[in-house]
Amino acid sequence: MRLKISLKPIENSHLFPANYNYPISALIYSLLKSASPEHSEFLHDEGYTISGKAYKLFTFALEFSRTPIFKNNAILCGDNTIFLHISSPNSTNLISQLCTLNLTGRRIEIVGDNIFSKLKIIKVETYQLNEMGQRVMVKLRSPIVIAKGKYLENENRTQEEYLTYESNIDDINKILNENLFNKYALIFNRNYADTPLKFKWDHDYVKQRMNQSKAFTRLIRITKDLHRPIEIRGNMIPFYIEGNEELIKVGLEAGFGSKNSMGFGFGDIINIQ
């Protein structure tokens, strides 16, 4: 299930943080805390664990009523309506718990990169996923992060390497499927027993962006600590995915790829083939 929260800037808050991922994630935890302090604390501090990895099993994306204008670290939003989409499987109860709150009319504050934005919640609604299929095209509302560990011998440590369109597609398929297998096991309390999904980028979209000299990746700064921001590279490329509908649904509800609770991997089905 998904939740759509419509927000309107108030009190002359014409600026909105461009690096909004961390403050919006914090907002979701804060709202959930109002409905279920235990659930909010569990998700924030622990999450659902399997094979030594923790998953929050939710993702989000922001949408603006008009194309936003970026200036330095800010978005000039004017009287733009901002839509916060939150997605999570029904079994987590996250959406249902948020729905118990009387959010309409509530005022909230978003702070990031020393940009202070005041907004008012004007509408809250739930909606379901689009019709499913075994071969679908997915358009991303937020970048998909595909990461693997890379050992730095000189420094004797491992750091994350972010895979992009140019990376080996077999590596991408392996990482995305292993991620979905773990989420599937956590959601359904059983191991996934069918064949892996087949993932393929929309090459026509990439060619079009290249011809227009436009980027198809985004470098996002997570600014929990202004002095030590974390940079994450994600892909904003539609993709085709083929295989088990239940596993595809896991990605649509809990997010594709990693770092979903920071607002990555939120996708919509736009075509069934």
91 and 189 in a single domain? The answer is: no
Give the count of beta carbons closer than 10 Å to the beta carbon of residue 186: 21
95 and 151 in a single domain? The answer is: no
Phi-psi region of 216 (alpha: psi -120 to 50; beta: other; left: phi over 0): alpha
140 and 268 in a single domain? The answer is: yes
112 and 161 in a single domain? The answer is: no
Specify the number of domains making up the chain. Answer: 2
CB 13 within 8 A of CB 7: no
CATH number at residue 162: 3.30.70.1900
The residue from 73, 105, 127 where one domain ends is 127
CA dist., res. 151 & res. 44, Å (int) = 28
109 and 226 in a single domain? The answer is: no
With a CB cutoff of 8 Å and minimum separation 6, the contacts of 209 are 215, 216
The residue from 105, 127, 149 where one domain ends is 127
85 and 118 in a single domain? The answer is: yes
With a CB cutoff of 8 Å and minimum separation 6, the contacts of 7 are 81, 82, 83, 84, 108, 119, 120, 121, 122
244 and 144 in a single domain? The answer is: yes
pLDDT per residue as tens, the chain (273 positions): 899 999 999 988 889 999 999 999 999 999 999 999 999 999 999 999 999 999 999 999 999 998 888 888 899 988 889 999 999 999 999 999 999 999 999 999 999 888 999 999 999 999 999 888 899 999 999 999 999 987 666 766 777 899 999 999 999 999 999 999 999 999 999 999 999 999 999 999 999 999 999 999 999 988 776 677 889 999 999 999 999 999 999 999 999 999 999 999 999 998 777
CB 88 within 8 A of CB 1: yes
Range of the domain at 265: 135-272
102 and 64 in a single domain? The answer is: yes
103 and 207 in a single domain? The answer is: no
149 and 241 in a single domain? The answer is: yes
The residue from 68, 97, 127 where one domain ends is 127
154 and 265 in a single domain? The answer is: yes
CATH number at residue 31: 3.30.70.1890
The reply to whether the predicted model has a pTM over 0.75 is: yes
104 and 150 in a single domain? The answer is: no
3-state helix, strand, coil in the chain (%, to 5): 25, 35, 35
